[in-house]
Amino acid sequence: MKKLTALAVVAAAALAVLVAVQVAGAGGPKDAGGKPPCHLGNGVQHVINIVFDNVHFSRDNPNVPSDLEQMPHLLNFLKQNGTVFSNSHTPLIAHTANDSLAIYTGLYGDRHGQPLTNSYKVYNPDGSTDPATSFTYWTSPIIDTKTNPPAPNPVDPNPSMAYAGGGITPAPWVPFTRAGCTVGNFSTANMVLENAAGDVPTAFGADSPEAQETAADPDNFKDKEVAEYVGEAIHCARGADLCTDSSRPVDDLLPTEPRGYHGYQALFGAKYIAPAIGGGPNTFHNGYRVTDADGNLVDLDGNTIREPFSGVAGFSGFNPVASQSLAVVADMQEAGIPVTYGYISDLHEKKSDTRVGCTTTANAATAGRPVGPGDSCYVTNAQHYDQAFQTFFARLAADGITPANTLFVISAEENDQFAGANVGRATEPTPAGCDGVTVACQYGPGQLGELQANINGLLSTTPSSATQFDIEPQGASIYVHGNPAADDPAVRQLERDTAAMTNPHDPYSGVDNEPIVQYQAGALEQRVLHMQTRDPLRFPTYTLFPKPDYFFSTSGPNVSINSSFAYDHGYYSPNIDVTWVGMAGKGVAVNGVDGPEPADGNQPSDPESTHTVPQASQVGTWVEETDIRPTMLYLLGLKDDYESDGHVIAQALRHVPHGLRATEPLAAAYDQIESSVGRFATDTLIADTKALASGSSSDDSAYQAEQSALAQLAQARDALAARIKKQLNNGHGVKRGEMRRDLRRVNRLLQRADALAGS
């Protein structure tokens, strides 16, 4: 009763603020955002897009309210002003870079260019690999983290954001700026500068003072330049005052953008953005502090935003808390920037102000170390985030930015699995039944942390012990040296040996001799999963998807608990690949929660991840992260210059035209053959997992037969998905007869994939 009473009190307070937001007067953006004025459709005057890292709608522990349940000012705002889709799905590999870019572009990774994790490998001419980062500015070439970054080249034939159609992936801000709407970004993947050494020369020019300053800084991490130039960007509409009045606008160069992109400017970094949106020292707006005495931007609590390692005022780094990101988003809106994107870090870790007194004792009192569900510091983090959203919505209401004139799109790009003690496991947090709200959950040594698996040690006694390869562990993708063919004997033996790896004892499941790898995807299956870009030198040989508690290393004990990390991502699992998106405001249907409630998600009842994603996704509208972009643009009366991989979510719209309503069955069918975790991909992944583990050096007939069948299925899927995608994107509806034929084709394809999985 105490828990319910406490939550009810918080919810009531949230509802009071919600009402205040709803009844506040409407107001349009200032003219500072651009010339001509911003033209958005359907009466929308503001757009606020926020992406969380690993913030959960579903509970991790069945007794502990989820992240969003503990942030009632946000959750109730979304439910009362729109719809929270709790059956949303990530692409594979499910991690920040791929997921964020899928949300921002509406494209799967094979088309936007970054389908793996936050880093990847690139084959060298000698067959070895170099690591590269997925986080680069939109037009930067590949930034190789082993050797010096290549010289910037705005028309690089192989950019980091390598569009499947050639050139650089079309940029997300373009439809807005062409409509006269300036776009602001804070900590958003690839729309801001991400690496000082590699991205500053791209944006400012190789001979610019900024590039020279960056090159001269002896600090390998370039912390000062991160504070000054990285993480914040304003992409101005043509002739926008924010850029033309700035001391340092730069040309916003998109050399391969469809239909061209000329005459636009941008601002990069806090050094130039703070003066443009802050208004000088000690600035307040409607009673809310915007800047400190030196003109630096502050968070919602009035603290100067600083780079955490150097202490230099400016960008906070790519782990911003809600109070920081929301403050800058509000600053941008108040400065006349009508379209704003922000990113907020997770709350399952010790923050700078919540690292002491935690009830998780399994790791040091260091910011960034994980805490378990219901830990006292985790609960405090959630309270701080909730307070930040309460202030944020009240501040927007004072500005006249309300659901009556604004589109809010808020989501989480992944739903990491908690690796640790949990209800229903061999080890549970104490005391029994703890909920974190009334009784804090405690995690002692051995009760929290990913199971770190040394792949080299596990293979040391197998026939593959001498096979040379590199691994990208958050996936985990294998790059065999020499870039051999998929059916190379050494590759095939390695696939058999990784499939057979076991853990003598899993302390969480209690299982002895537990298989570590749950699924494997060969080269052809990676194509099905949208994991192959246009650049074959970036293709992994194959990819492992272990049980979600595991993470691969290349040294140390064969299996050990690493308490420095406890939230795993990247893998195929409903506990990771099912996340949420909330849409609220102008034009959005008010349906509350569409999908499972927080206590009804998969992880509370299935911490071992025994279900497939389709099995765990039976309730609510199936949503793909690629659907967020086309739905948002539809509500704004805009379109991209390319064909999206997603489609409009009809269930998100307050008013659904008949033609769009009629395509709902086709859209649902399309999701099941195109999604990285839908029925088709799941069945082919199951089939490929069996095939890769099968056979021997003398008889590989089962694998060969599966590959032949899979090739036919992949070709049929690609052709059918392309046909349906074109129909869903054309905006003219679908003829009833054509739709019936395509639905029959989808069903036949799914039946063939199911048969292959069963065989």
Total structural domains within the chain: 3
Degrees, nearest 5: CA angle 561-376-321: 85
Contact 536, 164 (CB under 8 A): no
Six token digits for residue 120:
């990847």
Looking at per-residue pLDDT, the higher value among 126 and 543 belongs to: 543
Residues 139 and 269 in one domain: yes
The per-residue pLDDT of the chain, averaged, comes to 92
- Which domain covers residue 713, as residue numbers? 658-759
Domain-located, residue 712: yes
On whether both 521 and 388 belong to a single domain, the answer is no
Phi, psi of 451 (to 5 degrees): -85, 105
The Cα–Cα gap between 323 and 345 comes to 11
Query: How much is the pLDDT for 362?
Result: 86
Residue 581 placed within a domain: no
User: What does the alpha-carbon distance between residue 354 and residue 379 come to, in Å, rounded to a whole number?
Assistant: 10
**Mean pLDDT, range 203-210, rounded to an integer:** 96
The rounded distance, in Å, linking the Cα atoms of 274 and 287 is: 19
Are 572 and 617 in contact by the 8 Å Cβ rule? The answer is: no
DSSP state of 141: B
SS3 call for 561 = strand
Q: Is residue 610 part of a domain?
A: no
Does the CA dihedral 316-321-327-330 come out positive or negative?
A: positive
Is 689 domain-assigned?
yes
Residues 457 and 406 in one domain: no
Note the pLDDT of residue 33.
Answer: 52
Q: What is the pLDDT of residue 147?
A: 65
Partners of residue 298 on adjacent β-strands: 304
Q: For residues 63 and 421, is the Cβ–Cβ distance under 8 A?
A: no
Q: How many CA atoms lie within 13 A of 495 on its CB side?
A: 29
What pLDDT is attached to residue 184? 98
Look at residue 1 in the predicted model and tell me its pLDDT.
35
In a domain, residue 650? The reply is no
| Rounded CA separation 551/549 (Å) | 7
The burial of 284, by beta-carbon neighbours within 10 Å (0-12 exposed, 13-18 middle, 19 or more buried), is given as: exposed
* Contact between residue 283 and residue 298 where contact means Cβ atoms under 8 Å apart: no
Q: Are 629 and 644 in contact (CB under 8 A)?
A: yes
**Higher pLDDT, residue 147 or 740:** 740
Helix (H) / strand (E) element for 582: namely strand 578-585
Report residue 244: phi and psi, to 5°: -65, -30
Same domain, 17 and 156: yes
Contact 186, 297 (CB under 8 A): no
Residues 74 and 214 placed together within one structural domain of the fold: yes
How far is it, in rounded angstroms, from Cα 574 to Cα 642?
30
Q: Is residue 719 part of a domain?
A: yes
Report d(CA 96, CA 46) in Å as an integer: 26
Maximum Cα–Cα distance for the chain, whole Å? 77
Structure-model confidence comparison of residues 604 and 341, the more confident one = 341
**Residues 183 and 276 placed together within one structural domain of the fold:** yes
Please report the sign of the dihedral spanned by the C-alpha atoms of residue 435, residue 441, residue 447, residue 452: positive
My answer on whether omega of the bond before 274 falls inside 30° of 0, hence cis, is no
Instruction: Give the C-alpha separation, 139 to 54, whole Å.
Output: 27
Q: For residues 511 and 154, is the Cβ–Cβ distance under 8 A?
A: no
Q: Considering the domain boundaries, does residue 640 fall inside one? A: no
Q: Helix or strand or coil: residue 442? A: strand
Q: Which of 536, 620, 437, 453 is nearest to 5 (CA)?
A: 437
Task: Look at residues 537, 562, 587 and tell me which one is the last residue of a structural domain.
Answer: 562
The pLDDT value recorded for residue 6 is 36
Q: Write out pLDDT tens, residues 4-53.
A: 333 333 333 343 333 333 333 333 344 445 466 899 999 999 999 999 99
| Mean pLDDT, rounded, for 191-218 | 96
Residues 361 and 232 in one domain: yes
* 468 and 386 part of one domain: no
Query: What residues contact residue 646 under an 8 Å CB cut-off, 6+ apart?
Result: 106, 624, 625, 626, 627, 628, 629, 630, 631
How far are the Cα atoms of 350, 353, 375, 536, 568 from residue 365, in angstroms, in the given order? 7, 11, 13, 44, 21
Where a domain ends, among 527, 562, 597? 562
Residue with tokens 């009804």: 600
What pLDDT, on the 0 to 100 scale, is given for residue 4? 35
Checking if the pLDDT of 150 tops 90, the result is no
Average pLDDT over residues 597-623: 95
Q: Is 151 exposed, middle or buried (0-12, 13-18, 19+ CB in 10 A)?
A: exposed
454 and 404 in one domain? Answer: no
Looking at the fold, whether 114 and 204 belong to one and the same domain comes out as yes
176 and 126 in one domain? yes
Start-to-end CA span in the chain (Å): 51
349-391 pLDDT tens trace:
999 999 999 999 888 889 999 999 999 999 999 999 999 999 9
What does DSSP assign to residue 217? -
SS (H, E, C) 516-536: CEEEEECHHHHHHCCCCCCCH
Q: What is the pLDDT, as a whole number, of residue 157?
A: 52
d(CA 640, CA 643): 7
pLDDT score of 363: 87
Indicate if 406 and 454 belong to the same structural domain: no
CA angle 125, 129, 130 (to 5 degrees): 110
Q: How far apart are CA 474 and CA 552, in angstroms?
A: 8
List Cβ neighbours of 418 (8 Å cut-off, separation of 6 or more): 60, 61, 348, 372, 373, 566, 567, 603, 607
Nearest to 84 by CA among 386, 405, 411, 326: 411
- Would you say residue 583 lies in a domain? no
From residue 521, alpha-carbon distances to 25, 526, 527, 571, 616 in Å are 54, 6, 9, 11, 21
Distance CA(243)–CA(248), nearest Å, equals: 8
CATH value at residue 504: 3.30.1360
Confidence class of residue 173 from pLDDT cuts 50, 70 and 90? very high
pTM: 0.94
What's the number of CA atoms in the CB half-sphere (13 Å) around residue 747? 8
Last residue of a domain, one of 370, 397, 418: 418
Residue closest to 402 by CA, chosen among 15, 140, 26, 128:
26
Mean pLDDT of 173-189: 98
Closest CA to 96 of 542, 322, 412, 539: 412
